[in-house]
Amino acid sequence: MQDYEVEFVERGDREARFLVRGITPAFANGIRRAMIADVPTFSIDQLRVVENSSVMFDEQIGLRLGLVPLTTPEGEFEIGDEVTLALDVEGPSREETTETVTAYSGDIVSSDELVRPADDNIPIIDLKAGQRLEVEADAVLDHGREHAKHQGGVAVGYRHLQQVEVVGDKGEFADDEPHILRGVIEDDGELIATDEFDNDLTERYPDKELAVEDVPNAFVFHVETDGSMTVEDLVVRAVDSLRDRADELRESVQL
């Protein structure tokens, strides 16, 4: 199998930017689509409403709970596996108060410590005095192609790597307009994110005549996850899913 050159420009748990050299546009798009649709995550799929005296309908609360990202460890579960979660929050105990109690995703209790809300501060609903929300929910492991709530990658995209070359000086009477470019540029082999100079090349190369070109077969991916897994996990699982499907295809066409 061919090796690809991968270089990180920014690297965080939930957001990263990395350069991949030596891949075709079709393969880059394949990776992007796999990150969105082929990496399974847990999401609430069934709700049992024991009590809901809040101002929202059961279905509205269900939709909000379905969009809470749940941590999805690799290799521990299979597609269709279920984990039970519960939420029980009550409004303020004093009857006369106008204050509210907010039910947050952090109030959700899970039956499996591996699957829990990725963020604790997602508001579900405000409860007034006398109101109560008690629900039980089943989270199911499924793919993003089945429902968007199962997408692990929330902002996944890529751009060509841009090569910037100084070809000369600007004329004395040349227009002094900004030259906006977004993404990552390569300058003498060095990778620079364009937001370092406000996405304006004239900030970095004042009074210079520039030639900007796409670097063939070099793509800069910008990946953000919903917290159900790290960016690294998401990318590796996406590429694994592509490999599995390619293997499956190869086996099925062999007579």
Partner 1 sequence: MSYKCSRCKRDVELDEYGGVRCPYCGHRVLLKERSRDIKDVDVR
Contact residues for partner 1, defined by CB under 8 A: 43-50, 52-53, 58-59, 62-63, 65-66, 137, 147, 149
Q: Which amino acid is at 127?
A: L
Spatial CA neighbour of 107 closest among 132, 90, 88:
88
Quote the least distance from Cβ 24 to partner 1, whole Å. 36
Relative to beta strand 153-169, strand 109-110 is unpaired
Q: Six-digit token pair at 166?
A: 């100084």
Nearer to partner 1, 30 or 62 (CB): 62
Q: Which is nearer to partner 1, 52 or 241 (CB)?
A: 52
Of residues 64 and 170, the one with the C-beta less far from partner 1: 64
Shortest separation between residue 43's beta carbon and partner 1, angstroms: 8
Contacts of 148 (CB under 8 A, 6+ apart): none
Minimum Å gap between C-beta 65 and partner 1 is 7
- Select 61 or 184, whichever has its Cβ closest to partner 1: 61
CB 139 → partner 1: shortest distance, Å? 10
Least distance to partner 1, CB of residue 48, Å: 5
Specify whether the CB–CB gap between 236 and 197 falls below 8 A. no
* Adjacent-strand bridge partners of 162: 185, 214
Q: How far apart are CA 243 and CA 135, in angstroms?
A: 40
- Of 59 and 195, nearer to partner 1 (C-beta) is 59
**Run of H or E residues at 36:** helix 25-37
